[in-house]
Amino acid sequence: MRTARRLTLLALAVAALSGCGSSGTADLASEGRGVFVSAGCGSCHTTVAAPSHGTLGPNLDTSERLTRRQIRTQLDAGVGGMPSFQGRLTGHQQDAVAEFVYELMYHRR
């Protein structure tokens, strides 16, 4: 009995700490929006969600849809005229921006 109760309590604690559900990705996307703005991404990219009106890079409200991994790779390596953000942003910040951009691309209206 005690072991089952302990396992249940442990499972509940892990679920609470992991931010289960969609709120974890929503929080990360919200954080990513802030990083997007503070890192100056809007000087090149347009999106209503930031709001920004850059014209050098793709318009994120209408561009092709990319996976989280593709977005993260572009942030890390840089693509075409886009600079690499490796060393400029932490890995977590890059993950947050990737989640923000991903959410933009897949929740268009």
Question: Looking only at Cα atoms, what is the longest distance across the chain?
Answer: 63
79-106, pLDDT tens digit by residue?
A: 889 999 999 999 999 999 999 999 999 9
Q: How much is the pTM?
A: 0.76
Please provide the CATH number assigned to the domain covering 21-106. 1.10.760.10
18 Cβ neighbours under 8 A, 6+ residues apart: 24
Burial class (CB in 10 A: 0-12, 13-18, 19+), 49: middle
Alpha carbon distance, N-terminus to C-terminus of the chain: 51
- pLDDT tens, 34-47? 999 999 999 999 99
Domain ranges of the chain: 21-106
99 exposed, middle or buried (CB, 10 Å; 0-12, 13-18, 19+)? buried
